[in-house]
Structure 1
Amino acid sequence: MTLTIPDGMGGFRDIRYAEATAGARSYGKALLAAAEVDPRIVCLGADLSQPTQTTYFRDTLPERFFMVGIQEANMVGVAGGMARAGDIPFAHSFCVFITRRVYDQVAMQVAYPKLPVKLVGFIPGLTTELGVSHQAIDDIALMRALPNMAVIEPSGPEQVGAAVAAALAFDGPVYLRLSLSKGAPDETTPLQQFELGRGTIMREGADVAVVTSGAMVGHALEAAEMLERENLSATVVNMASIKPLDSALVARLARSHKMVVTYENHSTIGGLGSAVAEVIALSGSTPRFAMVGVNDVFAEGGSTPYLFGKYGLTAGDLYRAVKGLAN
């Protein structure tokens, strides 16, 4: 299977990436496959090879793997320098460290000169048991605000290969926000294409449009089934391209649905919900609107199910938000 990945600007920068990563469900394997066809790709790590799935790259292409230690700011600066020298660097850490901790370096050494540095973050939002210091609830807001920066959050292993190809095809910096997969990826889930600047409708409905991304796509589809039993029909959109956003699709959904709800594992301030709200406000449409996400609070340590339950991120919370709008 070959996924044809447009570059979002009407052309194709390098079809080899799409061909190389087409069947990959693991981020690490997708990156390695792309690197094997393009010698410009280099891999940088901050002492997190195992959780960022970069052991495949390290063990296969050690001469292009650079471990800089626990110093993400320096890693981003190194990546910027390598990009100026003609490389395509992929820099890895946890989401909160590859964005908030190194924000000035990303802004001035990557985004401002529009270099092809790909920042790859793992464990987004509240999907960590490592406590508040590791919870990335503002990373999308930070990266969205930077000129030249693209922001991608694939729904899961079924879309990660296409997302890596699209990140490579984009001639500029990218923030790739990934969830850690537990165990082997489900090979029965159909692979999904990805195009920068385009959302994917996963389910068609008439009453409410749910716009979501990342691992929340699965929860949104679960909530849609719950709503169907209440005679509420839901459209579910996988908005893996958070920036650039598919503004045309959002505006169309706002015109064709009575309700629009965003659903994200991130603060409701500055993330996907804010991006969708901006488009709706400028479109002149007036659907009933709600955002389901982290409501401007720091969380606490705990398991993902516990945190999702306490901070209102479960499929049931999305269901109740839609029911509340409908009543």
Structure 2
Amino acid sequence: MTTASKPKLKTSAMIASFVDDGQKTTSAPFGHALVKAARENDKIVGLSADLAKYTDMHIFAQEFPERFFQMGMAEQLLLGAAAGMAETGLVPFASTYSVFAARRAYDFLCLDIAEPNLNVNIIGGLPGLTTGYGPSHQATEDMAIFRGIPNLTIVDPCDSIDIEQAVPQLAASDGPTYLRLLRGKVATVLDEYDYTFELGKAKVLRGGNDVVFVTSGLMTMRALQAADRLAEHNVDVAVVHTPTIKPFDAETVLAEVNTDRLVVTLENHTVIGGLFETVASAVVTAGLGKRVVPIALPDQFLDAGALPTLHERYGLSTDRIVAKVLGELA
């Protein structure tokens, strides 16, 4: 007698969606939201570093070819050109992979865009562990790199709702922004929680008496899933979604943290320099003396492989979150 083996993951799983089978999704929410915003604001332009198709910018390019600029594989040029356009009063949205914006074009973002506080919106694809192609494409430290730049707003959306509502707010905000893009078929989660995105604000999605999850990005989806699973173990979990990492809504978060509940941060980013350290800094500055438990990627270069395997290996899967919390409460 033999047992059925799991189906072998194909190479395509290395860039597969992290969305679960059967989950509600929205196709290319960023691209469609940008088109909608551009219809209402003729100052919006789009740029890409030869990655329009892979950052959903191609939807904008098809709708507004005269307002789209293909810069080729030259990220410094991408951000330099976006800065020049912003100086003339345009509102650029510049898309590339997060690793290239953070590692290759940092100085251009810092001095050409952030220092003069220009309204340039950087759209970074493949943030954190959303690809299995290894360290060259896994932007696990992008927020750590960018948090130190003055004037820069950092947004880590959970789902299609966050992205759709964030785009017009980013276009209307003063100064530069960085959006950690979720592309393709993106989960639609927050519509079930009476939620609206507000730039710079955290939102309590659900209450709970035992544990508080402070989350951002795709990990908010996982946090909500884990909260449902933990309820089966009689563990009552609150979830606080913090889509804006900088400026950070410490007031809302600390009001939830300053209780006798276990506090856990969840992020699709290295444990160094991201949400965990942002929350921990706010806790220490406020003098709360509260322990904060991180669920995050390790401080190391990650393996290549299939996304489901990597999320399980590095602790981002729902199963690993549930196990971590139960271990803390034991």
Length-normalised TM-score, structure 2: 0.87
Q: Which moved more, 1:50-59 or 1:23-32?
A: 23-32
SS of corresponding position for 1:160: helix
Q: Does 1:243 align with 2:246?
A: yes
Match of 1:124 in 2: 127
Q: Aligned-pair RMSD on alpha carbons?
A: 1.9
Contact 1:118-1:174 within 8 A present in 2 as well: yes
2:104 & 2:212 partners in 1: Cα distance? 35
Matches within 5 A, 1:221-240: 221-240=224-243
1:285 & 1:109 partners in 2: Cα distance? 39
Letter in 2 for 1:56: I
Change (3 A) 1:236 1:181: farther
Q: Does 1:209 align with 2:244?
A: no
Matches within 5 A, 1:77-92: 77-92=80-95
Query: Which among 27, 30, 33 is matched to residue 30 of structure 2?
Result: 27
Match of 1:310 in 2: 313
Percent identity of paired positions between Structure 1 and Structure 2:
38
Letter in 1 for 2:284: A
Q: Does 1:265 align with 2:272?
A: no
SS of corresponding position for 1:100: helix
Length-normalised TM-score, structure 1: 0.88
Q: Does 1:52 align with 2:55?
A: yes
Query: Which among 65, 69, 87 is matched to residue 68 of structure 2?
Result: 65
Q: Which moved more, 1:72-81 or 1:286-295?
A: 286-295
Change (3 A) 1:282 1:135: same
Matches within 5 A, 1:67-216: 67-182=70-185, 189-190=191-192, 192-216=195-219
2:145 & 2:308 partners in 1: Cα distance? 26
Contact 2:28-2:56 within 8 A present in 1 as well: no
Question: Which structure 2 residue ranges, 5 or more long, are not aligned?
Answer: 1-25
Residue 99 (structure 1) shift? 1.7
Match of 2:4 in 1: none
Instruction: Tell me the alpha carbon deviations over residues 226-263 of structure 1, each in whole angstroms, 9 at most, x when there is no partner.
Output: 22122221111111111111100121112124211111
Letter in 1 for 2:269: H
Residue 158 (structure 1) shift? 2.0
Q: Does 1:290 align with 2:293?
A: yes
Instruction: Tell me the alpha carbon deviations over residues 107-148 of structure 1, each in whole angstroms, 9 at most, x when there is no partner.
Output: 111111100000001111111032220000111111111100
1:57 & 1:95 partners in 2: Cα distance? 19
1:96 & 1:28 partners in 2: Cα distance? 20
- RCO higher in 1 or 2 (8 Å CA, sep ≥ 6)? 2
Q: Does 1:276 align with 2:279?
A: yes
Residue 187 (structure 1) shift? 9.8
Contact 1:44-1:68 within 8 A present in 2 as well: yes
Contact 2:159-2:189 within 8 A present in 1 as well: no
Letter in 2 for 1:141: A
2:27 & 2:185 partners in 1: Cα distance? 16
SS of corresponding position for 1:134: coil
Question: What is the number of residues matched between the two proteins?
Answer: 304
Letter in 2 for 1:178: L
Contact 1:41-1:88 within 8 A present in 2 as well: yes
Question: Which structure 1 residue ranges, 5 or more long, are not aligned?
Answer: 1-22
Instruction: Tell me the alpha carbon deviations over residues 124-180 of structure 1, each in whole angstroms, 9 at most, x when there is no partner.
Output: 111103222000011111111110000011111122111112211210100011122
1:245 & 1:29 partners in 2: Cα distance? 27
Letter in 2 for 1:170: S
SS of corresponding position for 2:208: coil
